[in-house]
Chain A
Amino acid sequence: MPTPVIILTDAPLDLAALSDQLPIDPKTGATSSFTGYVRESGALIALELLQHPVMTRHALDQIAQTAMQRFGVLGLLLVHRYGRMGIGEPIVHIAAAAPHRRAALDAVSFTIDVLKTQAPFWKREWRNDNYDWVEPGGADHEKAAQWLETKT
């Protein structure tokens, strides 16, 4: 049974180097990936992600393993950054390898949609010397609920 590759780090993500981290099985017929970045927004100067010292890693493991089993993917890479990030920096990178495209695409969608509301991260936006907490939106909960309430 293949296991996901999980990287939780406060170091900047090197996307080119990460592309080698997705395990490719000879039965792989499709790969899919998603990368989320800090986007420019008004006077925003940085985004800060805070994690739980134990529970965050555990939640990422659980979500990635569930995605692999549910969609039958052959390899899954889940990389999440924490700490302070500038505009344009990657926050999260997910990649999946599967025999067919639908499984690879769905595994990536499931993983990002579910982790947004089920993995213990907290986000704050820095403007000058002040920050505002970012609460998860209704759309985030709806996306996660769609996956968690339905089975393919």
Chain B
Amino acid sequence: MAVLLRIKEENHGGPMFLLSLPFTAPPGRSEPLTPPRTEAQAVLNRDRAAATDEALLAWSAAGDRLAFDQLSLRHLPRLYQLAHRITGDAAAAEDVAQEAMLRVWQAAARFDPERAKFGTWLHRIATNLAIDRTRQARHTAPAPDDTLPAPGPSPEQQAATRQQRDRVVAALQEMPARQRAALALFYDQEMEGAQAAAALSVSTRGLEGLLRRARRFLAGKLED
């Protein structure tokens, strides 16, 4: 049987269960009144910050929501970056990153580390969500984005950098979403070709084709 260990309670919106620990009843007793102290203590004392992604996911699948929080903390910035590159919109990128993590939670118990790398699986979920989001909002013009990093030091350099950045962003918006996703996985996420191809559900040659077209398009736009 499972015992829910209530760690934290919100004032509004009901209780939040951050840990659900599987405990078995001791012999001669049908139900344990409290979880075994040593087992609960071991779970609470887990070094989540040092754990691998796969370990955190396995703990999450067993009900350790603190482990999942650690996983979110670790991957949300990269997911946001990926989604922002594909959607070109800060609010949409937030939605996609959050939704990707929630999908990971739902499917945590089904993830098989022998069949796929966690990073590839996570990026595939986020990429698909972001591409879907872009298709839904195809006719909506992207909102001006203020989340870009601050440009260079001098005013001239700032202006030049800003101009260059605007041209890149404008060129990316004209590019098909899958090409943007290929660029994001290859450059922003610095994934290997095979891993990026797996995240996009294409062959390595397919990824090279997407990147080739994207680079050619981008170079043409920046040279205009």
Say if A and B assemble together: no
